[in-house]
Structure 1
């Protein structure tokens, strides 16, 4: 009987979830996760020579085999592209400046480990993007003898020889390791001719560049030079300023000229910034609450989302003391943000409107932001309350006969008598609604639930009568 009740309850849950699932298609929206390999996971199977965990500036032992052990972590988060820090031999745990592009950093593993790691991610359908430093090499690099390398190790990327060298390098990594692409910092400082040559070396590689003070024209120029995505470095400053406190200026987010571009990537923090959690702690507000709000905006706008390792655990840290590079802590106790990311990733996967739809702002008063993502008949409405009070808004642009079903918070909004739909939120919270045809009363669900309750009552009566009979015999 217990097993029957459990099974029936499972069916009820599945039936209640089923109507909110959107129609997925093959157009995938990318979700990135940057891994600082040395500070992610130590497998204890790779050489410890050169590792000193007591020195914050030394290698701490994270390696590629450790990364392989955590593939499921990325799958659970809904990540599509894992961006790994430079794997080339270096004197610095960050991988830059590079000592030798022809060698793998010994503390990370071997060339075989690189291949095995890429294969492990590919087996789960994830792409592997490698961070490619292009600014300088260390003074003991073999490249110091090249005429396109200065005495202080800076690379002259206007040189055709430099473009030829890196073109051969990336195609070698593609053929030998089967990597999917490369990530370049400060891409706006890289000569266009160099980018065109290197990105054109293979049509199959995916290129991501990061730049600051980025205009729409700048982004277009980089795309024309061969970039597939541009990471907008300035977004995290505006996002931190907005989510730092309640009742902040919403124009910090809504006036972003790049917020409607699907080829632009946004993050809340990165390996080169102070942690988002630190800024929230300084404000005196609850970091987990603020992370949930910020991530909802990050994932639900047209720009693709980028996470830096530890964001799912609300990791703290600053660049000044190196703590933003602390070793990943998989034993962090609170999983609220992790679960929130999983929900957002699921919405991304299942709703075409979130992946490719137009973004329309519906309400932006009283620190209550409501916007929608629309693609054909697929519509998702996003609500973010950045105030200290309960907020609501009446939406009058929707057709009659619909309902809004909450995908993060369990909420169901039906049409008012005047034809509007009222969405509401408690303070400092968010929700995402799927707009669908009104389901009315789900009689199948009601009948199943009633049947389960009836079985439970019968079971309780039988047990009671059996116990009463035994008591009388006694």
Structure 2
């Protein structure tokens, strides 16, 4: 029922006039990051060296298992999936690479890798693999770098992989990393990103931004004033979790917070603030890494956050303004954060109540305009201008909403008709089923 209501809201708003983006540029992407070994076990045929009692041993995840869960990623509307290192390596997480040509046999065969990539492509999702730049504990010399580029280019072309991410890059200077990335892009015609914050135009996940997001949204009543210094560079990837650090859910639990509520609030910020969102596997189930650094994904638990993530990603994919629009901070005091993203085509208001009490904020006609209404697409709210020309946003504790600003032309006939059509259609369907059932019983 919630999904139907969401479709009606989007279908009867101006947002529906836009087409979901194809991730041709970095700012258009949204990343879902996973580890093959910890995601899903699709077959026991490659379960070598599996030990479920050892955190550092293989756990059985494979290419077939990931292929079986492509729809799960697609339901959350991500444009790009980061699948980690698929090459032969000593460890499940890709450390200790042994080849730039062979796949890790624990994950399956190269044919199964191609099937996985094809499954993602059928859902219009790009696939990015990791390429570690440390070989047998040492950095690559110039000749090894040249060979690496040739081998990786051949590998990703033959398996139709969309891009690569250089990892384990600390031993290299920025110039070398940028040159090797450019060479690989030219040779393979695929894009390259670099997991190194020194390379600002290509880096994946900004640690400073992640720290601010975690500090603010792990618990309620945390101040939001630091966001006025948030970088407006949309190309810088941002994340609430990383594979290397402490999970945000663990911090929430340690602070005795209720993770699903906190995650709803944090996800709203992640997908609407300037930056390219990166979400680590398991965030959709509020995964906790209190026991293992890389826990096994659990697909049998409730997916409380999956629908909300999908909604936010859908809005971001449809609206260029939510990806690249100008930012104006409307309120950053205390624990109530409100900002506007605008362009010549549209305006959005994002409001987050990070407190444990109901809060309100008054916006003026100078900020919103006269004769407007604000449609809340997450809470199904509708705000109209008051007689004194102001607009009031009221949110209960730990709630957020994304408002689309449009002309107030009275009642939305289209929405009423669409809603009535659904109700009438469903009623007709039920009557038909009941009549058929009665005839069969006679």
Question: Is the structural similarity TM-score above 0.5?
Answer: yes
**Helix, strand or coil at the partner of 1:113:** helix
Which of 290, 299, 311 aligns to 1:343? It is 311
Alpha carbons 1:369, 1:384 under 8 Å: kept = yes
- 1:356 positional shift: 1.7
Determine the structure 2 residue equivalent to 1:271.
243
When residues 416 and 154 of structure 1 are mapped into structure 2, their CA distance, relative to the original with a 3 A threshold, is: same
Distance 2:50 2:418 in 1: 60
- Describe how 1:382-397 pairs up with structure 2 within 5 A: 382-396=350-364, 397=367
Which of 285, 295, 298 aligns to 1:326? It is 295
Q: Give deviations 1:156-205, integer Å, cap 9, x for gaps.
A: x4x32132122112211222111111123355653234323322222432
Q: Give deviations 1:193-238, integer Å, cap 9, x for gaps.
A: 4323322222432222233xx5xxx55xx43xxx3x5421232222
Q: Which segments of 5 or more consecutive residues in structure 2 lack a partner in the other structure?
A: 427-442
From the CA coordinates, give the structure whose radius of gyration is larger: 1
Count of paired positions:
415
- Describe how 1:183-332 pairs up with structure 2 within 5 A: 183-185=165-167, 187=169, 189-201=171-183, 202-203=185-186, 204-211=189-196, 214=197, 218-219=198-199, 222-223=200-201, 227=202, 229-256=203-230, 259-318=231-290, 321=291, 323-332=292-301
Q: Does 1:173 align with 2:155?
A: yes
Distance 1:121 1:451 in 2: 34
- 1:404 positional shift: 0.2
Q: What do you get for the CA RMSD once the two structures are aligned?
A: 2.8
Determine the structure 2 residue equivalent to 1:367.
335
- 1:281 positional shift: 0.9
**Helix, strand or coil at the partner of 2:293:** helix
Alpha carbons 2:349, 2:402 under 8 Å: kept = yes
Distance 2:5 2:359 in 1: 35
Which of 7, 13, 20 aligns to 1:19? It is 13
Distance 2:171 2:109 in 1: 32
**Helix, strand or coil at the partner of 1:171:** helix
Which of 128, 138, 144 aligns to 1:154? It is 138
Alpha carbons 2:375, 2:404 under 8 Å: kept = yes
Which of 361, 386, 396 aligns to 1:426? It is 396
Q: Give deviations 1:320-366, integer Å, cap 9, x for gaps.
A: x5x13121100112x22111101101111222210221111111223
- 1:19 positional shift: 2.1
- 1:122 positional shift: 1.2
Q: Give deviations 1:414-455, integer Å, cap 9, x for gaps.
A: 011122211121111100001111130235666788899999
- 1:268 positional shift: 0.9
When residues 98 and 255 of structure 1 are mapped into structure 2, their CA distance, relative to the original with a 3 A threshold, is: same
> TM-score, normalised on structure 1?
0.81
Q: Does 1:58 align with 2:57?
A: yes
When residues 390 and 189 of structure 1 are mapped into structure 2, their CA distance, relative to the original with a 3 A threshold, is: farther
Q: Does 1:31 align with 2:27?
A: no
- 1:254 positional shift: 3.4
Q: Give deviations 1:377-408, integer Å, cap 9, x for gaps.
A: 31111000111221111111122111100010
Distance 1:15 1:383 in 2: 18
**Helix, strand or coil at the partner of 2:101:** strand
**Helix, strand or coil at the partner of 2:327:** strand
